Amino acid sequence: MVKRPGSVISQSEYEWGSQQRGLGDFRIPKEALTALNGSFISPSKIYNYPGIVRDESNCVIRPEWQAYECHDLTYKM
């Protein structure tokens, strides 16, 4: 098996939407979801996936790690 350089990005959206864990779109401040004209901005229009920004085509979820294994990704911390 050939090893390639890559990054491991945590699955920060783990159990997103869980009221029990207090995670979900309801945690986004109202001010961040309000347009300049006062209308509501749907979170689904702002992002495709919750959690850390990643390129889904270059990342594979590793459930046993609760993380994504990403290659060919420009990533800086």
Full residue range of the structural domain in which residue 11 is found: 6-71
Assigned domain for 76 exists: no
Assigned domain for 1 exists: no
Q: What is the pLDDT of residues 46-65, one digit of tens each?
A: 777 777 777 778 889 999 99
**Cα–Cα distances in Å, from 68 out to 33, 44, 71?**
28, 21, 10
CA–CA–CA angle 41, 43, 46 (5° rounding): 85
Indicate the pTM of the whole model: 0.61
Number of domains in the chain: 1
Assigned domain for 65 exists: yes
Cβ neighbourhood burial of 58 (10 Å; 0-12, 13-18, 19+): middle
Asked whether 54 and 70 are in contact (CB, 8 A), the reply is yes
Q: State the DSSP code for 31.
A: G
Asked whether 7 and 76 are in contact (CB, 8 A), the reply is no
Comparing 33 with 47, the larger pLDDT belongs to 33
Assigned domain for 77 exists: no
Q: What is the pLDDT of residue 4?
A: 80
